[in-house]
Amino acid sequence: MRGQDLLHPRPEGLYCPPGDFFIDPVRPVARALITHGHADHARPGNTAVLATQQTLDIMAIRYGATFAQSSQAAEWGKPISFGDCTVTFHPAGHVLGSAQIAVECGGLRIVASGDYKRRHDPSCQAFELVPCDIFITEATFGLPVFRHPDSKAEVAKLLRSVSQFPDRTHMVGAYALGKAQRVIKELRDAGYDRPIFIHGALQKLCDYYQTQGIDLGELKPATLEKGAKTDFAGAIVVGTPSSFADRWARRFADPVAAFASGWMQVRQRARQRGVELPLIISDHCDWDELCDTIDEVGAGEIWVTHGREEALVRYCELKQLRAQPLHLVGYEDESE
């Protein structure tokens, strides 16, 4: 069996003919396997959904209990058969519940990694290396300029700024699923025990993380008591990146705009967004980790998708590995 007979792109998403399912479809389909809960990968309206329990929970939080007609929870590493092929879910280390999906048929195994990261993250399961014949890798940060520093140092930078500018509100932009909880958890692990204020859009997902054993400490809504503008001076407020460009942000005392994202590596990106304090904290692999993963996974062929495919394909060429860009549309890395 050739690779493209087992999985190939269709307008709806990555399709598996022998199993008759799609992985992370961008349009509603009869059977969808979902890697993780980010909105560009997990969409409502599919008939049947298979995903990890946490991903199903997150989809229910985001889209309501009716996000699909039926859903099935996949257990880590436990094979599930569809026709002639077998699928297994393995931790991807991206956000809580995120999975790589291994698809096996006729002796050929392809791993669709979804989005993944190799770094330690106290808010989700650690990435598991799954040997395979063809590895599908993301390329969000697929350029040699992306080398994420230690996230502890980034959190320390934030805390230093908080003590240097105690009269200002530090507004940390972080995506609602995964990044926000990770930043909060890393702050707690760094010993920051004051209440952290959060934007309303984060509330349900933070509550959910807490029920899953991720202790985020005391979180308070960043709502305004009447006329008390200095309430947030010296505080850390976490919100979605878009909320800081919104009228909502006007309640804060002389804010320092911080943004937790792998994109913050490039100063001009930070400057364009008006970010004063970039925090290079990513839930994707950096360049070195993408390369290491390609080396370690032992696949003879690499498919590269959503991101900067050309550099990673070039890397594979230099390593004399077969590689091709896999043109999937509709993934906009909401996670960064």
Cβ closer to another protein: 319 or 327? Answer: 319
Instruction: Tell which one of 21, 116, 244, 331 touches another protein (CB under 8 A).
Output: 244
Q: Assess 293 for contact with another protein (CB under 8 A).
A: no
DSSP labels, 234-286: T-EEEE-GGGGGSGGGGGSSS-EEEEESGGGGSHHHHHHTT-SEEE---SS--
Least Cβ distance, residue 163 to another protein (angstroms): 11
Instruction: Tell which one of 278, 304, 306, 335 touches another protein (CB under 8 A).
Output: 278
CA distance 237 to 255: 10
Rounded to the nearest 10°, the torsion over CA 105, 107, 108, 113 is 70
Q: Assess 310 for contact with another protein (CB under 8 A).
A: yes
CA distance 273 to 264: 10
- Reduced to 3 states (helix: H, G, I; strand: E, B; else coil), residue 17 is coil
Q: Assess 156 for contact with another protein (CB under 8 A).
A: no
Instruction: Tell which one of 2, 64, 66, 164 touches another protein (CB under 8 A).
Output: 164
Q: Assess 311 for contact with another protein (CB under 8 A).
A: yes
String of contacts with another protein for each residue 10-29, x by CB under 8 A: --------------------
Residue 262 CB contacts under 8 Å (≥ 6 apart), including other chains: 140, 141, 146, 148, 280, 281, 282, 283, 284, 286, 336
Instruction: Tell which one of 246, 295, 296, 332 touches another protein (CB under 8 A).
Output: 246
Q: Residue 89 phi/psi, 5° resolution? A: -105, 135
Applying CB under 8 A, the span of 43-51, 87-95, 132-140, 271-279 interacting with another protein comes to: 271-279
Least Cβ distance, residue 330 to another protein (angstroms): 20
CA distance 23 to 37: 13
- Residues in the site for another protein, rule: CB under 8 A? 143-147, 149-150, 157, 164-165, 244-250, 254-255, 257, 265-268, 270-278, 288, 308, 310-311, 314-315, 318
